[in-house]
Structure 1
Amino acid sequence: MSRSFVTATLTALTLAVAAAFPIAAAAAPTGPGAEREAERSLAAAERAFSGSVRRSRGATLALRDLALALPDLSGADRRQARALLSRPDEGNEPQFDPNDPNANGNWRADAETDSQCSLHFCAHWVTSDGAPPRKTDEIDLSDDNDNGTPDYIDAGLASAERSYQVQNVELGWPQPENDGTRGGTPQNDIYFSQLVFSENFGLFGYANTDRGDPCLDGQPYRCAGYLVLDNDYSEFGYEDPLLPLRVTMAHEYNHILQFAIDLGQDTWMFESTATWAEEKVYPKVDDYVFYLDFFADSPADPMTSAGGGQGLKIYASAIWNHWIDSRFGEDVVREAWTGSRKARPRSFAIEAYGRAIRQFGGSGFAREFARFAATTAEWRDATEFPDARSYPKQVDRAGRLNPGQSVSAKLDNTAFRLYDVPNPGGGTLRLEAEVQRDTRSAVALIGRRSGRQPLVRLDYLPNGRAGNVKLKRVGGYDRVTVALINADGRAKRRENARPFREKWNYVRNDRLFRATLR
């Protein structure tokens, strides 16, 4: 697979869950302002499915916003929104472009279809739809093993069952919610549709809930779901198109499991966990590595922000889950999810992770994030990260800092800055810092010797204020780095917040750090 192709196109290809949340009309904000917001949500969703992904926040967030806004839409807008939120086979597709009647992945009403089930999944696909070749939902019907099922469907069902085996059996995640007979059977439904139309735009796939499901009317938001995946993955530039099929299946199936636990959890936890799950199911594919440039380029963007790193840092933040997996065992990620509703505040990712980390013997989120952030300064040599030698050479440096120099910076939650020390000398370096009070934060000096575990000297500051850290015999290191870290993810819930991804007001943003190197 060409890394340059993937890096160039990731900003336009959204690997995503379209988690639809049609909230009861009585609970939704009303009035002209709400209606305008709903219309903007509809426009964003239309752009996401009509080739303008670069100008939208991606299909996942656009569809979720639209589902939340559905009660505030009426007439043609409401019908359009309902069509966007429908299963591919519901025959209710909107017409964004008369030359592209299939742009949202819904099948044509006159399409001929077929289905095949395995133990836990049922696949649904189009055998003939009469659409122009570029837009057709038809799959390759080749059946080399003569078992009566197209080879592509065999591969898809095999990947789904492997995802079930690893995630439910080996990792112990709770079973998905049953959708009854929606889709025709009680198994988990997978629809194969044309989701990619060129190398410039499209979707890897998504998971969705059903409109009108009672689980969507309020807490605890434990929902069933279904999957929609591309019908051939031929446009992504992979040498083997089954590779994106497999990792997308693992990713989106993890979303189905998340739906069954807490549909209201934070977006960044949804996506970072599902991307981590890809690696657990297919450890040799390493597809998550191609997102890491977006982490490396944006350490000052909050890890909690759905828009960080051009909207793709939330996928790259799979390395946070790999970090805690390495430190506390793989069960800690599952426990962060299963304890989501017990966290205070509930459905708050920072505290869900913190609670699980404490359960496994750690000190909570802030201390763990501080050490994680500092260690990314030399992540290619750190044993906590799998596939580390494939990572970008370094996380972005905000500048240089030599002995006798000072620096100041303002940092938002779960954000950090790194500074190279090009002339550290040969003795002891001392970093003196002052952090805005009442900020869970850290300052660190990191020493690198090529091929060896980096040495991290870190001063965790539970209340901000003065920090001091030393690194001895610095002449023996190939590189020395300063880290300033805002590890404070405390937040308050916004009243009438909608969509879910905007429900928190992080109250320790824009915190001032001052540091001097001596």
Structure 2
Amino acid sequence: MPAVGLLTLGLLVGTLGLPAASASDTTLPAPEVESTDAATDALTEVRELADGRTETGRDLTMALRELRLHQDELSPTDRTAARRLLNRPPTKYQWASEQVQQFGGVLVHWDAGTVTPAYVSQVGTVVNNVLATYTGSGYRAPKSDGTNGGVAAGLLDIYLVDFAAKGEFGLYGYCDSDAPPPNNGPYDVSAYCAFDNDYAEYPGTPDNTLNVTAAHELFHAVQFAYDYEEDRWFLEATATWVEDELYDDVNDNWQYLAASPLRQPRQSLDQWTETGLRQYGEWIFFRYLSERWPTRQGALPVIMRRLMDRVDGAAGGPDTYSMRAIERELKARGTSLAKVYADFSDANRRPQVTYEEGASYQAAAPSATWKLSKRHPDTRVRRTTVNHLASATARLVPGAKVAGDKWRLRVKLDLPSQHAAAVISSYRTDGVVKTRPVRLDRHGRGTAVVRFDGRTVRYVEVTLVNTSARYRCWRAQPDARVLYSCRGKPRDQRQPMLIRARAIR
């Protein structure tokens, strides 16, 4: 309302003879500013993870990051609650008597009487070994936080906490930063981390649990030295990938394969979900890359460090978002994301021969299976839709009387004219698999013919792939339950794909 209108209203009130305000009248307090949806979601996620009210296996690190990035959007009441959650462990958990011991560039902290001296030494040794592996492979060391840990500058602070005693059941550890980056960068920040005080209450052996937790969380500390605000799916998937690189016999990350492109091929690769474990299961894509390009510097494949170099948001870094970094790295290696993702989608149909440890992996069931016979040789035209960086597989099985050298399977495809691919693979009775891409014309149409003799062919699979990595970046809603690369909206979701298969001779 314009100011003149307010003045007029005041004059009218006066003429109605209403009593003037007395000195004893109280002014109503201004309503408290409400938290934004994104800030509320971030605070809720941290609370639920800390209280053990969300799915076991989710990482607190990224939740704390989101809360720090959105804490200025909280109401005063919520901001006070957030500060308590964001305090370092000695303050957060009200330690009675903080103890410290230095191990090279690492400073281990604990509350007196909660940790054995042997475990303190073990943690110091494990952390130094993990960090040495990362720096020896060309990665940047975690950035110093000065004297924020209360002792000498330049040390990485590791806090040992009895999470179960604090009611934080299922929490393995986390890393955090006291100083999130400025809005316009640079985006590299310091880190500190917290681990459990003995890992006695967790599945697996305490030693193994400490090892893989250190590998995962300290990789987050390294990531922070590149880009604190990089895409969540990428940060979690690569930190889960590295667990198996450092501690190959532990295999803790196998638990996430049920929620991975291996078992859920129809879901997009690059998603982070508010609930569930999908972002952890996406580590299998980076395992595929590192086995396909295995050249190492130190103990780790070079290709993975090159991805971190490409997303580097420190001063002078390219600050590329996750999927574009992958595209550019693959192009530099003489291929493309479209080709590699099509190969990956087909290779996941037979993990036992694709991956070094694939005998222990399980592939997804086909999206559809048809048995073709002399009487019913044709599937007719079948239609499906496929999201970006996802795939669907049709399996064609020769019937009992489809036997003889002359039998062939003819597959006709009608796919989008861009950002689509198909791979056809024949699985023979002798265990040999023959695979090749289906050539598509500029309209997305293609035909493939392969042998279909039931005596020598068990089945044929056709994998349809949406290879799009196009986004309208930074368009996701602040409270979105699923996020993709660059917080973008994928431009090529639910792409229609048609297939028709016929047994012929």
Bin of the TM-score, shorter chain as denominator length: 0.7 to 0.9
Counterpart in 1 of 2:185? 219
Q: In the alignment, what sits opposite 1:50?
A: 51
Partner of 2:337: 365
Is the contact made by 2:427 and 2:434 (CA closer than 8 Å) also made in structure 1? yes
Structure 1 segment 124-139 matched on structure 2, within 5 A: 124-128=109-113, 138-139=114-115
Amino acid at match of 1:111: A
1:327 aligns with 2:307: no
Match of 2:100, SS state, is strand
CA offsets per residue over residues 179-206 of structure 1, 9 Å max, x none? 2222123121111113347999522222
Report the CA distance between 1:387 and its aligned residue: 0.9
| Whole-Å separation in 1 of the counterparts to 2:97 and 2:453 | 70
Query: Retained in 1: the 8 A contact 2:398–2:453?
Result: no
**Corresponding position: 1:432 with 2:390:** no
Structure 1 residue aligned with 2:106: 121
Shift of 1:436: 2.7
SS of 2:342 mapped into structure 1:
helix
What is the TM-score with the length of structure 1 in the denominator?
A: 0.78
Equivalent of 1:348 in 309, 321, 328: 321
Paired with 2:351 and 2:453, the residues of 1 have a C-alpha distance of 19
DSSP-derived class of the 1:429 partner:
strand
- Residue of structure 2 equivalent to 1:177: 143
Question: 1:154–1:110: structure 2 CA closer, same or farther, 3 Å change rule?
Answer: closer
Which amino acid is the alignment partner of residue 466 of structure 1? R
**Match in the other structure for 1:96:** none
Pick closer, same or farther for the CA change 1:454–1:324 going to 2, 3 Å. farther
Percentage identity across paired residues of the two chains: 24
Residue identity opposite 1:35 in structure 2: T
Whether 1:167 and 2:139 are equivalent positions in the alignment is no
Q: Is the 8 A contact 2:307 2:325 kept in 1?
A: yes
Query: CA separation of 1:197/1:506 partners in 2, compared to 1, >3 Å: closer, same or farther?
Result: farther
Equivalent residues in 2 for 1:457-472 (5 A)?
Answer: 457-459=436-438, 465-472=444-451
Q: C-alpha distance in 1, partners of 2:466/2:317?
A: 21
Residue in 2 that maps onto 1:423? 398
Distance (whole Å) between structure 1 residues aligned to residue 479 and residue 38 of structure 2:
11
Alignment of 1:387 with 2:357, yes or no, is yes
What is the TM-score with the length of structure 2 in the denominator? 0.79
The residue matched to 1:153 in structure 2 has which SS?
A: helix
Distance 1:344-1:364 versus aligned 2 partners, 3 A rule: farther
- Which of residues 233, 237, 240 in structure 2 aligns to 1:268? 233
Contact 2:188 2:225 in 1 (8 A): yes
Amino acid at match of 1:112: S
- How far the C-alpha of 1:305 sits from its partner, in A, is 1.0
1:398 equivalent to 2:367? Answer yes
1:256 pairs with 2:216: no
Q: What is the DSSP-based 3-state SS (H/G/I as helix, E as strand, rest coil) of the residue aligned with 1:174? A: coil
Give the residue type in structure 2 aligned to 1:220.
Answer: P
Three-state SS of the structure 1 residue aligned to 2:382 is strand
Q: Does 1:336 align with 2:307?
A: yes
Instruction: Name which of 464, 484, 489 aligns with 2:464.
Output: 484
Residues 340-376 of structure 1 deviation map (CA, whole Å, 9 limit, x = unaligned): 25999953211111111222x2312121111101110
Contact 2:109/2:160 (8 A) holds in 1: yes
Instruction: Name the aligned partner's letter for residue 72 of structure 2.
Output: P
Write out per-residue CA displacement over residues 380-438 of structure 1, whole angstroms, 9 at most, x where no aligned residue.
Answer: 122xx22111112x223222134521432111111112233233745433322112333
Partner of 1:133: none
The separation in 2 between residues aligned to 1:451 and 1:247, in whole angstroms, is 39
Structure 2 contact 57–170 (Cα < 8 Å) conserved: no
What secondary structure is seen at the aligned counterpart in 2 of 1:370? helix
Q: 1:473 to 1:198 in 2, by over 3 A?
A: farther
Report the secondary structure of 1:324's partner residue: helix
Listed one character per residue, the Cα deviations across residues 157-194 of structure 1 (whole Å, up to 9, x for unaligned) are 2221221222210x221222222222123121111113
Pairwise CA RMSD of aligned residues? 3.1
Looking at structure 2, the residues matched to 453 and 294 of structure 1 have their Cα atoms a distance apart, in angstroms, of 28
TM-aligned CA deviation for residue 467 of structure 1: 3.1
In the alignment, structure 2 segments of 5+ residues that lack a partner are: 1-31, 295-300, 373-377
What's the counterpart of residue 193 of structure 1?
161
SS at match of 1:389: helix
> Where does residue 147 of structure 1 map in the other structure?
none
CA deviation digits over 1:45-75, x for unaligned, max 9?
A: 2222112113998634433332222111132
1:471, CA displacement in angstroms?
3.4
Question: Paired residue for 1:441?
Answer: 420
**Deviation at 1:498?**
4.5
Distance of aligned partners of 1:44 and 1:442 in 2 relative to their CA distance in 1, 3 Å threshold = same
**2:84 paired with 1:83:** yes
Counterpart of 2:97? Answer: 112
| Greater shift in the superposed pair: 399-408 or 449-458 | 449-458
Tell me if the contact between 2:265 and 2:390 (Cα under 8 Å) persists in the aligned partners. yes
Q: CA contact under 8 A between 2:233 and 2:271: conserved in structure 1?
A: yes
- Larger radius of gyration between Structure 1 and Structure 2: 2
User: Closer, same or farther in 2 for the Cα pair 1:430/1:115, shift >3 Å?
Assistant: farther
Instruction: Return 5+ residue gaps in structure 1 as ranges.
Output: 1-30, 94-106, 129-137, 142-149
The alignment of Structure 1 onto Structure 2 pairs a total of residues equal to 444
Structure 1 SS opposite 2:101: strand
